[in-house]
Amino acid sequence: MRYWVKGRFTKGAILGLVIGEAFSVVFILFGSSTYLSFSNRVGLSTGLSEVALTILLALFLVGLIQSGFNGSGLPVSSSDVDYVFTSPVPPREVFAAKVLLNSLTTVLLGFPPIFVLYLRFSAYYHTSWSSAVLAGLVTLVFLVIGLLLSADITLSLGHGLGERKKLWRNIFIILVIAVSLLPITLLIPGIPVEVAEVTRVLPNGLAAAVSVGLVSGTSGGLAYLADLLLLFAWLGGVLVLGVRMSRGHFYDLLEVPAASGEKFDHPNQTSRLDPKGKSIWSIVRLKEKIMISRTREARAQFISAVFLSGFMIIYALSGSFQSSPTSFLFILFIIGSFGSGTASRWIEKERLWLLKSSPLSMRRYVKEVYRARVAPLLLYLAPVTVAVGVPLILGGLSQPSFLLGVILALPGALEIASITMAGGMFFASKYGQSSADDILSSQQQELADIRRFLFQTIINLVMVSPVLLLVFVSETLVTILGPGYLPTLAVGLLSVSILFTSLSINFLLNKAGDAVSRREDL
């Protein structure tokens, strides 16, 4: 346990943890305020909060079940296999130490944002802060149950996951989702209220019911006590199951991540890179698209975009945009910053020895990779922007000053996403770990990652601030010049914005190409 703790909580990891926690707390505060504003505006009861939390926790549970079935319910590294599993330490102790460590990490990582979430709810419902602490602890119990369940599933798999077991996995997951989503049927008139009670057979439903009850001040009585007891029964059950299953050697059941960190569902594929008649650069773009689709990056990007659009639509419906132009700028940045994450690890997938020993121009190469990566990003983000923008434009037709801001902000969000993606690629080129990095140790790399994250955030903010500024001053400009100038202003400012974006992207990508050329850690 101390060996793993020492390996995990390095100086870089702790610094990263603090920064990550700070960001997640800000995000949770923002998200929960939006939700409560929406809830207040539409006049929803605490029942919806319970349902929302049930679904949120169900997503977490499904993720853990999935990782359990994938064989990574008990995360191990290759050095664990080499040194821990070959040692005379009894497997049951290895299991206990691994689960304890994972739980400890989850509690450390999870508690601050969860506590902030419940604190925001308890302030809204005028309950004491101690109820938020208790609610947070209940949710943590749920998280530990999830981790144990995931470990149990992995240990129960035997060697690999056969086709029949895949069927069971899918049935299991669908069942959890179906039961968790059942309360949504309450929106249909005539459906009995008891339907919502069904979710209380699962740990996510139980945790949501008890936590929301505590922060909203509606807890108490035998029903809540029964829910709590049932939750702990789940905890006891999965713990006993895990301990029983870890009696024998189990390391061969675990999936040790490959050095490349990539997983492929199907080792054989139809080759799609036909070079006949194509230029070098179209082949580079095609290669990048194939890589994105095969390494699950495209799927992850799509899922993130779906979550983002859901969040944005709720935010737009809550009316927060109309009430405060600054919050609109914040939203612009949330859509925009979506770009930086998607390309932040591109350099790890590159093979720099191959590229740098070829006669290719690195500046041009980076630009072509960017072209291949930005296209799907804009494809996913454009519908999100339209979904948010259409009701705003329709609602703002009578207010020209407001309308100009919206007209600038919709493409502005996409421009910001494009700039932050270019920024992400530049910082990855400068600080990211390459495919065969033999100079930086993992601890040094963690510190480099943190430095990169901070620089990237600051520089990206600076780079996109002119676009944000244009949106911000648009209302004042229309007021000064008059509504008659709206079309001219819209065309003029939009052109300036697009020109600035193009120049910024070109600048960042040139810097990225130069950074790749200068790298010596191949």
Query: How is residue 104 written in tokens?
Result: 């400890």
CA distances from 415 to 106, 131, 329, 427, 486 (A): 36, 43, 13, 18, 21
Residue 72 CB, shortest distance to another protein, in Å, is 17
Residue 364 CB, shortest distance to another protein, in Å, is 11
The Cα–Cα gap between 211 and 190 comes to 28
Asked whether the beta carbons of 516 and 366 are under 8 A apart, the reply is yes
Give the residue with the Cβ less far from another protein, 1 or 354.
Answer: 354
Torsional class of 319: left (φ above 0), alpha (ψ -120 to 50), beta (otherwise): left
Binds another protein by CB under 8 A, chosen from 21, 197, 262, 514 = 262
Give the residue with the Cβ less far from another protein, 201 or 439.
Answer: 439
Rg of the chain's alpha carbons, rounded to an integer? 25
* Number of C-beta neighbours around residue 379 at 10 A: 12
* Number of C-beta neighbours around residue 299 at 10 A: 11
Give the residue with the Cβ less far from another protein, 271 or 326.
Answer: 271
Binds another protein by CB under 8 A, chosen from 171, 233, 280, 303 = 280
Give the residue with the Cβ less far from another protein, 358 or 495.
Answer: 358
Question: Which of 66-74, 150-158, 162-170, 272-280 is the region at the interface with another protein (rule: CB under 8 A)?
Answer: 272-280
Question: By CB under 8 A, is residue 273 in contact with another protein?
Answer: yes
Residue 279 CB, shortest distance to another protein, in Å, is 9
Give the residue with the Cβ less far from another protein, 231 or 369.
Answer: 369
Give the residue with the Cβ less far from another protein, 318 or 344.
Answer: 344
Asked whether the beta carbons of 91 and 250 are under 8 A apart, the reply is yes
Q: Is 220 exposed, middle or buried (0-12, 13-18, 19+ CB in 10 A)?
A: exposed
Residue 223 CB, shortest distance to another protein, in Å, is 52
Q: 456-488 burial, b if ≥16 CB within 10 A, otherwise e?
A: bbeebeebbeebbebbbebbebbeeeeeeebee
Binds another protein by CB under 8 A, chosen from 27, 168, 264, 302 = 264
Angle of helix 400-431 relative to helix 362-396, nearest 10 degrees, comes to 160
* Number of C-beta neighbours around residue 240 at 10 A: 12
Helix (H, G, I), strand (E, B) or coil at 158: coil
Give the residue with the Cβ less far from another protein, 92 or 371.
Answer: 371
Question: By CB under 8 A, is residue 257 in contact with another protein?
Answer: no
Of 453, 376, 466, the C-alpha closest to 419 is: 466
The Cα–Cα gap between 204 and 434 comes to 40
Give the residue with the Cβ less far from another protein, 24 or 517.
Answer: 517
Asked whether the beta carbons of 470 and 496 are under 8 A apart, the reply is yes
Question: Which of 59-67, 121-129, 290-298, 323-331 is the region at the interface with another protein (rule: CB under 8 A)?
Answer: 290-298
Asked whether the beta carbons of 339 and 417 are under 8 A apart, the reply is yes
What is the size of the binding site for another protein (CB under 8 A)?
42
Instruction: Using alpha carbons only, give the angle 208, 210, 216 rounded to the nearest 5 degrees.
Output: 95
The Cα–Cα gap between 215 and 315 comes to 23
Give the residue with the Cβ less far from another protein, 165 or 349.
Answer: 349
Binds another protein by CB under 8 A, chosen from 89, 226, 258, 499 = 258
| Residues 336-365 interacting with another protein (rule: CB under 8 A) | 349, 351-361
The Cα–Cα gap between 58 and 142 comes to 10
String marking each residue 76-115 x if it binds another protein according to CB under 8 A:
----------------------------------------
Residue 376 CB, shortest distance to another protein, in Å, is 16
Q: Which residue has the tokens 């495919």?
A: 435
Binds another protein by CB under 8 A, chosen from 43, 164, 190, 268 = 268
| Residues 401-460 interacting with another protein (rule: CB under 8 A) | 435-436
Question: By CB under 8 A, is residue 267 in contact with another protein?
Answer: yes
Question: By CB under 8 A, is residue 160 in contact with another protein?
Answer: no
Question: By CB under 8 A, is residue 2 in contact with another protein?
Answer: no
Residue 230 CB, shortest distance to another protein, in Å, is 44
Q: How far apart are the first and last CA of the chain?
A: 34
Residue 79 CB, shortest distance to another protein, in Å, is 18
Residue 511 CB, shortest distance to another protein, in Å, is 18
* Alpha-helix residue ranges (DSSP H) falling in 397-441: 400-431
Question: Which of 160-168, 220-228, 283-291, 411-419 is the region at the interface with another protein (rule: CB under 8 A)?
Answer: 283-291
Question: Which of 101-109, 123-131, 141-149, 276-284 is the region at the interface with another protein (rule: CB under 8 A)?
Answer: 276-284
Binding site for another protein (CB under 8 A): 258, 260, 262, 264, 266-278, 280, 283-284, 287, 290-291, 294-295, 349, 351-361, 435-436, 518, 520, 522
